[in-house]
Amino acid sequence: MEKILVSACLLGEAVRYDGKDNLVDSPLWQGWQREGRFVSVCPECAGGLPTPRPPAEIKSPSADVKRRGAETQVPDPKDAIRVVTVTGEDVTAPFVQGAEAALRLARDANIRFAVLKARSPSCGNGQIYDGSFSRTLIEGDGITAALLGRHGIEVFTEYQLQQLAERLAQLEN
Protein backbone atom coordinates (compact mmCIF):
# COMPACT_ATOMS: atom_id res chain seq x y z
CA MET A 1 0.00 0.00 0.00
CA GLU A 2 1.38 3.37 -1.05
CA LYS A 3 1.70 5.96 1.70
CA ILE A 4 0.87 9.59 0.91
CA LEU A 5 2.58 12.64 2.39
CA VAL A 6 -0.16 15.12 3.28
CA SER A 7 -0.25 18.77 4.36
CA ALA A 8 -1.34 18.68 8.00
CA CYS A 9 -3.92 21.42 7.45
CA LEU A 10 -5.75 19.18 4.97
CA LEU A 11 -6.16 16.62 7.76
CA GLY A 12 -7.87 19.19 9.97
CA GLU A 13 -4.84 20.30 11.98
CA ALA A 14 -5.02 24.01 12.85
CA VAL A 15 -1.59 24.88 11.42
CA ARG A 16 -2.47 27.38 8.68
CA TYR A 17 -0.91 30.82 8.95
CA ASP A 18 -4.17 32.06 10.50
CA GLY A 19 -4.46 29.21 12.99
CA LYS A 20 -7.21 27.46 11.01
CA ASP A 21 -7.31 24.25 8.98
CA ASN A 22 -8.29 23.24 5.43
CA LEU A 23 -9.94 19.90 6.23
CA VAL A 24 -10.70 17.93 3.07
CA ASP A 25 -14.13 16.31 2.83
CA SER A 26 -14.13 13.70 0.10
CA PRO A 27 -15.00 9.99 -0.05
CA LEU A 28 -11.62 9.25 -1.67
CA TRP A 29 -9.85 11.15 1.09
CA GLN A 30 -11.80 9.45 3.85
CA GLY A 31 -11.07 6.04 2.33
CA TRP A 32 -7.33 6.70 2.19
CA GLN A 33 -7.45 7.97 5.74
CA ARG A 34 -9.22 4.79 6.95
CA GLU A 35 -6.57 2.73 5.15
CA GLY A 36 -3.84 4.51 7.12
CA ARG A 37 -2.09 5.88 4.04
CA PHE A 38 -1.45 9.40 5.30
CA VAL A 39 1.80 10.75 6.72
CA SER A 40 1.17 14.27 7.99
CA VAL A 41 3.53 17.22 7.69
CA CYS A 42 3.31 20.98 7.95
CA PRO A 43 6.52 22.26 6.35
CA GLU A 44 6.11 25.73 7.84
CA CYS A 45 5.77 24.35 11.37
CA ALA A 46 8.58 21.86 10.69
CA GLY A 47 10.73 24.85 9.70
CA GLY A 48 10.09 26.46 13.08
CA LEU A 49 7.40 29.00 12.23
CA PRO A 50 4.67 29.61 14.82
CA THR A 51 0.91 29.27 14.40
CA PRO A 52 -0.60 31.72 13.82
CA ARG A 53 1.94 33.65 11.75
CA PRO A 54 1.82 36.50 9.24
CA PRO A 55 0.85 35.47 5.71
CA ALA A 56 3.83 34.83 3.45
CA GLU A 57 4.34 34.68 -0.30
CA ILE A 58 7.22 33.88 -2.63
CA LYS A 59 8.96 36.94 -4.07
CA SER A 60 11.56 36.75 -6.75
CA PRO A 61 13.20 39.31 -8.97
CA SER A 62 13.43 36.60 -11.61
CA ALA A 63 11.05 33.84 -12.58
CA ASP A 64 9.77 32.36 -9.31
CA VAL A 65 9.37 28.60 -9.34
CA LYS A 66 8.18 27.96 -12.88
CA ARG A 67 7.09 24.90 -14.78
CA ARG A 68 8.54 24.33 -18.21
CA GLY A 69 6.91 21.50 -20.11
CA ALA A 70 6.61 18.39 -17.97
CA GLU A 71 9.59 19.30 -15.80
CA THR A 72 9.44 21.65 -12.86
CA GLN A 73 12.32 24.09 -12.66
CA VAL A 74 13.24 24.07 -8.98
CA PRO A 75 15.31 26.82 -7.43
CA ASP A 76 18.35 26.20 -5.37
CA PRO A 77 17.80 27.81 -1.94
CA LYS A 78 20.77 30.07 -2.73
CA ASP A 79 18.91 31.54 -5.71
CA ALA A 80 17.16 34.90 -5.63
CA ILE A 81 13.80 33.43 -4.61
CA ARG A 82 12.70 34.67 -1.21
CA VAL A 83 9.67 34.04 0.96
CA VAL A 84 8.54 37.16 2.77
CA THR A 85 5.67 37.95 5.10
CA VAL A 86 3.10 40.65 4.52
CA THR A 87 5.13 42.71 7.03
CA GLY A 88 8.32 42.31 4.97
CA GLU A 89 10.12 39.73 7.15
CA ASP A 90 12.27 37.29 5.16
CA VAL A 91 11.20 33.76 6.18
CA THR A 92 13.01 31.92 3.40
CA ALA A 93 15.23 29.93 5.78
CA PRO A 94 12.37 28.32 7.75
CA PHE A 95 10.51 27.57 4.51
CA VAL A 96 13.59 25.81 3.10
CA GLN A 97 14.18 23.97 6.41
CA GLY A 98 10.56 22.82 6.43
CA ALA A 99 10.82 21.62 2.83
CA GLU A 100 13.95 19.67 3.68
CA ALA A 101 12.19 18.12 6.71
CA ALA A 102 9.26 17.09 4.50
CA LEU A 103 11.65 15.50 2.01
CA ARG A 104 13.40 13.56 4.80
CA LEU A 105 10.04 12.34 6.10
CA ALA A 106 8.99 11.23 2.61
CA ARG A 107 12.27 9.43 2.01
CA ASP A 108 12.19 7.74 5.42
CA ALA A 109 8.68 6.41 4.70
CA ASN A 110 9.47 5.53 1.06
CA ILE A 111 6.72 7.89 -0.12
CA ARG A 112 6.19 8.52 -3.83
CA PHE A 113 3.07 10.75 -3.64
CA ALA A 114 2.08 13.90 -1.79
CA VAL A 115 -1.15 15.87 -1.46
CA LEU A 116 -0.23 19.42 -0.52
CA LYS A 117 -2.26 22.58 0.04
CA ALA A 118 -2.96 24.42 -3.19
CA ARG A 119 -1.50 27.90 -3.70
CA SER A 120 0.62 27.82 -0.53
CA PRO A 121 4.15 29.28 -0.65
CA SER A 122 5.28 25.94 0.82
CA CYS A 123 2.89 23.46 -0.70
CA GLY A 124 1.38 25.05 -3.80
CA ASN A 125 1.61 22.91 -6.92
CA GLY A 126 1.19 24.58 -10.30
CA GLN A 127 -0.06 27.91 -8.91
CA ILE A 128 1.12 30.19 -6.13
CA TYR A 129 0.42 33.79 -5.17
CA ASP A 130 2.62 36.34 -6.93
CA GLY A 131 4.26 37.94 -3.88
CA SER A 132 2.21 41.13 -3.99
CA PHE A 133 -0.34 40.01 -1.35
CA SER A 134 -3.09 40.95 -3.80
CA ARG A 135 -4.35 37.33 -4.13
CA THR A 136 -3.04 37.27 -7.70
CA LEU A 137 -2.13 33.74 -8.81
CA ILE A 138 0.79 32.90 -11.07
CA GLU A 139 2.21 29.70 -12.46
CA GLY A 140 4.65 28.14 -10.01
CA ASP A 141 5.24 25.81 -7.09
CA GLY A 142 5.79 26.35 -3.41
CA ILE A 143 9.19 25.59 -1.88
CA THR A 144 8.22 22.15 -0.51
CA ALA A 145 6.28 21.08 -3.59
CA ALA A 146 9.21 22.03 -5.82
CA LEU A 147 11.77 20.20 -3.66
CA LEU A 148 9.65 17.04 -3.49
CA GLY A 149 9.11 17.16 -7.24
CA ARG A 150 12.83 17.53 -7.87
CA HIS A 151 13.33 14.31 -5.91
CA GLY A 152 10.76 12.31 -7.86
CA ILE A 153 7.77 12.60 -5.53
CA GLU A 154 4.56 13.27 -7.46
CA VAL A 155 2.75 16.23 -5.94
CA PHE A 156 -1.00 16.78 -6.10
CA THR A 157 -3.28 19.36 -4.48
CA GLU A 158 -6.55 18.74 -2.67
CA TYR A 159 -8.24 19.55 -6.00
CA GLN A 160 -6.47 16.68 -7.79
CA LEU A 161 -7.57 13.69 -5.72
CA GLN A 162 -9.05 11.87 -8.70
CA GLN A 163 -5.72 12.16 -10.57
CA LEU A 164 -3.93 10.70 -7.55
CA ALA A 165 -6.51 7.88 -7.34
CA GLU A 166 -5.76 7.05 -10.99
CA ARG A 167 -1.99 6.99 -10.33
CA LEU A 168 -2.47 4.75 -7.29
CA ALA A 169 -4.67 2.40 -9.30
CA GLN A 170 -1.96 2.13 -11.98
CA LEU A 171 0.57 1.05 -9.38
CA GLU A 172 -1.57 -1.10 -7.14
CA ASN A 173 -3.56 -3.13 -9.69
- Over residues 15-43, the pLDDT tens digits come to 999 999 999 999 999 999 999 999 999 99
The β-bridge partners of 139 are: 127
Residue count of the chain: 173
Displacement of CA 173 from its chain's centroid (Å): 27
Q: What is the pLDDT of residues 104-163, one digit of tens each?
A: 999 999 999 999 999 999 999 999 999 999 999 999 999 999 999 999 999 999 999 999
Is-contact 38 4, C-beta < 8 A? yes
Which parts of 8-116 are beta strand (E)? 38-41, 56-59, 67-68, 71-72, 82-85, 113-116
Q: Where are the domains of the chain?
A: 4-172
Q: What is the pLDDT of residues 45-66, one digit of tens each?
A: 999 999 999 999 999 754 444 4
Secondary element (H or E) of residue 104: helix 92-108
3-state secondary structure of 17: coil
Is-contact 14 122, C-beta < 8 A? no
Is-contact 84 129, C-beta < 8 A? no
